[in-house]
Amino acid sequence: MTEDYKAEEKKSLNFLEEIVEADLAAGKYKTIMTRFPPEPNGYLHIGHASSICLNFGLSLKYGGGTNLRFDDTNPVTEDTEYVEGIKKDIQWLGFEWANELYASDYFEQLYTYAVTLIEKGLAYVDDSTSEEIAEQKGTPTQPGRRNIYADRTVAENLQLFEAMRNGQYQDGEKVLRARIDMSSPNMIMRDPILYRIKHAHHHRTGDQWSIYPMYDFAHGQSDSIEHITHSICTMEFVPHREVYNWLIEKLEIYPSRQYEFARRNLSHTLTSKRKLLQLVTEKYVSGWDDPRMPTIAGLRRRGYTPESIRDYCERIGVGKRDNLIDAGVLEFCAREHLNKIALRRMVVFDPLKVVITNYEGAGEWLASENNPEDPDGGTRNISFSKELFIEREDFMEDAPKKYFRLAPGKQVRLKSAYIIQCDEVIKDADGQITQLNCSYFPNSKSGEDTSGIHVKGTLHWVNARDCFPVQVREYDRLFTVEDPGNAEGNFTDYINEHSLKVVENALAEAALKEAGVNERFQFLRKGYFTLDPDSTPEQLIFNRTVTLKDSWAKAK
RNA sequence: UGAUCCAUGGUGUAACGGUAGCACUACUGAUUUUGGUUCAGUCAGUUAAGGUUCGAAUCCUUAUGGAUCAACCA
């Protein structure tokens, strides 16, 4: 893991690495400290993965550490359940945090900071309603104005703030505000709210507090307490940087610095928590870990490997402009890794019976490589006999000349077995093809072929005698448009109705009976698959991670 | 239309005043017992107009386009 990040020296740096290297070169720091600060109110998704790779990647590359800090300052939306999910996802991605921390651990310290601000005359208790505050805030083109509460004395503010803490007021009755600049062109600087009253049960501090700090008064201070050197966040926090720095300066605390990057968007999906939640609650998907979801849990169930996700994050880089990364990049990363590690197996999705009319004897065992990309992958035994199944789409009665598969009178190789020739097509009363009678060439056996026959096509197949039915779930992109979140109308209008196709009785080769939960397979000529946790010993279920590239499908 | 941020092939990202490169995609061709993989190649880009300079994607100005900001969310 560490090697991954240190090995690549020649590569050009992204702008964050440049900042870090400049700081290191200037002797500003010996090592760096970053943090990943999720709010425990939802599941992590592919966008978070970028942030995780960025933060952990930086400290791995330059030395130092990355804290996992839960930004749990809003008790009404947060829950311990999410904490566990988030931890699992980060670990699964392959990262280790230096410390597991919570903004709520700092509530007492934060309170003290607030008192300091009040004492300095830089914060005051405001009794206005939120509507009044919004109204007094002005507009981007017009400055805001202070109200009478801003004139309260330090002593009064101190007493009132303490009373707020003691629960003497109702929710919304009062807030603590920073006294900065009501005419700043930056709306965030117009006396931002630091604390609000919420008589709510917190997942960690229980009912201990009735006031909770706002993001602006928790995040930067938490960074500072942890001596975070580089606090990396997304572009929407750019205007908050001014407050971030103002508070550090006034409080005279450790000067963490904030840097912003553009959130990375993936095409054909969404990363809005609200919309993701809607997909779940309105049953467009089966849950947060539905294999079509862009959540880490969904990607994991879909069969993506941590390596492929890290590779994706590395490849797409990081910048400051808006972007929409083609889903094909993520798919490429999956194929790239899976090709190297997936065990090759044969599964026939839509079976067509083949009888080898000139095959005598009970059958035989043939060896087939587990992975041609892995010299140490070994082989497995597959059984061959007179009756087999091939894919229905691998036969055509009237085949175009570019069709390399089976057709009347044509020859193909059965993978790891023999070359066969189609002699006779058998149909039922409706004209449906029910069986192919073929002959095989005994001297064309895989690995010892002396037949001299050259075929263009090789087919996957299973032995009728020991194959067994499995369910296959063929997943595709969840949305039909590149950017459903910004498309006209409702994003649910663009859900891909064919994003899941269930194949009930695909026939799998016997070796697949031993499939394990964390194993990845390539079903020959079909794609990459992994076992779904819904599987039972009686009914194995395989999820399609991604198809193989298919240049024939395009040519058609 | 106040402020802030951003602008390089279809997509993402480099080039740090000196040959516009890499990856994905697409397309050719070769190899192949997976129409997979691998290999070789092709197409394709500096938003515009001025300015500074021997030289500008890079610095300056203006324009244009996009994004963000007025939650007791983060």
pLDDT value at residue A10: 55
pLDDT value at residue A248: 98
* B21: residue with closest CA to C1': A12
pLDDT value at residue A8: 37
**Per-residue pLDDT tens for A56-99?**
999 999 999 999 999 999 999 999 999 999 999 999 999 999 99
Using the CA of A412, give the nucleotide whose C1' is nearest. Answer: B33
Q: Is the pLDDT of residue A11 over 80?
A: no
Tokens 């700043």 locate to: A184
| Alpha-helix runs per DSSP H in A137-181 | 154-165
The two domains A268-344+470-556 and A347-460 share their CATH topology (first three levels equal): yes
Spanning CA of A239 to C1' of B15, the rounded length in angstroms is 30
Q: Is the pLDDT of residue A555 over 90?
A: no
CATH class of A268-344+470-556: mainly beta
Closest by alpha carbon to A441, among A460, A414, A420?
A420
- Report pTM: 0.95
Two tokens at A20?
Answer: 């870090």
Q: Contact, A394 vs A411, CB < 8 A?
A: no
Spanning CA of A336 to C1' of B41, the rounded length in angstroms is 22
Distance CA A62, CA A32 (A): 7
Q: What CATH superfamily is the domain A1-261? A: HUPs (3.40.50.620)
Q: Please give the single-letter amino acid code of residue A281.
A: T
Find the mean pLDDT for residues A495-503. Answer: 97
Domain boundaries, chain A: 1-261, 268-344+470-556, 347-460
| Alpha-helix runs per DSSP H in A120-240 | 130-136, 154-165, 215-225
Q: Does the active-site annotation cover A39?
A: yes
Spanning CA of A393 to C1' of B10, the rounded length in angstroms is 32
Q: Contact, A500 vs A454, CB < 8 A?
A: no
pLDDT value at residue A5: 39
The Cβ of residue A321 has, within 10 Å, a number of other Cβ atoms equal to 6
Two tokens at A154?
Answer: 């330090």
Would you state the CATH architecture of domain A347-460?
Beta Barrel (2.40)
Distance CA A262, CA A260 (A): 7
Two tokens at A428?
Answer: 């039922």
Distance CA A174, CA A130 (A): 9
Find the mean pLDDT for residues A190-204. Answer: 98
pLDDT class for A9, splitting at 50, 70, 90? Answer: very low
Query: At what angle are helices A241-251 and A107-119 packed, to 10 degrees?
Result: 80
Q: Is the pLDDT of residue A449 over 90?
A: yes
pLDDT value at residue A346: 98
Q: Is the pLDDT of residue A110 over 90?
A: yes
Spanning CA of A21 to C1' of B45, the rounded length in angstroms is 30
Find the mean pLDDT for residues A366-380. Answer: 96
pLDDT class for A554, splitting at 50, 70, 90? Answer: confident
Higher pLDDT, A4 or A150: A150
pLDDT class for A551, splitting at 50, 70, 90? Answer: very high
pLDDT value at residue A6: 36
**Choosing from A179, A250, A273, A465, which is the catalytic residue?**
A273
Using the CA of A315, give the nucleotide whose C1' is nearest. Answer: B23
List the end-to-end C-alpha distance of chain A, in Å, as a whole number.
Answer: 43
Our CA angle for A222, A227, A230, nearest 5°, is: 90
pLDDT value at residue A1: 40
Arithmetic mean of pLDDT over chain A: 96
**Choosing from A152, A263, A275, A353, which is the catalytic residue?**
A263
The Cβ of residue A18 has, within 10 Å, a number of other Cβ atoms equal to 11
Q: Is the pLDDT of residue A135 over 70?
A: yes
Using the CA of A457, give the nucleotide whose C1' is nearest. Answer: B35
**Choosing from A39, A260, A336, A387, which is the catalytic residue?**
A39
Using the CA of A320, give the nucleotide whose C1' is nearest. Answer: B6
Spanning CA of A513 to C1' of B5, the rounded length in angstroms is 56
**Per-residue pLDDT tens for A324-364?**
999 999 999 999 999 999 999 999 999 999 999 999 989 99
Tokens 């402009």 locate to: A321
pLDDT value at residue A431: 95
pLDDT value at residue A28: 95
Give me the phi and psi of A8, to 5 degrees please. -80, 85
Does any strand B atom come closer than 7 Å to the Cβ of A215? yes
Distance CA A529, CA A345 (A): 10
The Cβ of residue A100 has, within 10 Å, a number of other Cβ atoms equal to 11
pLDDT value at residue A150: 97
Distance CA A261, CA A234 (A): 5
Q: Does the active-site annotation cover A273?
A: yes
Q: How far is CA A268 from CA A327, A329, A478, A494, in A?
A: 7, 12, 7, 9
Percent of chain A with pLDDT over 70: 98
| Alpha-helix runs per DSSP H in A77-143 | 80-93, 107-119, 130-136
Q: Please give the single-letter amino acid code of residue A468.
A: F
pLDDT value at residue A245: 97
The CA-based dihedral angle spanning residues A46, A52, A54, A59, taken in that order and rounded to the nearest 10 degrees: -160
Find the mean pLDDT for residues A433-460. Answer: 97
The sign one gets for the Cα dihedral A181, A182, A183, A184 is: positive
Chain B: bases < 7 Å from a protein Cβ: 1-8, 10-16, 21, 23-27, 33-38, 66-74
* B15: residue with closest CA to C1': A12
Percent of chain A with pLDDT over 90: 96
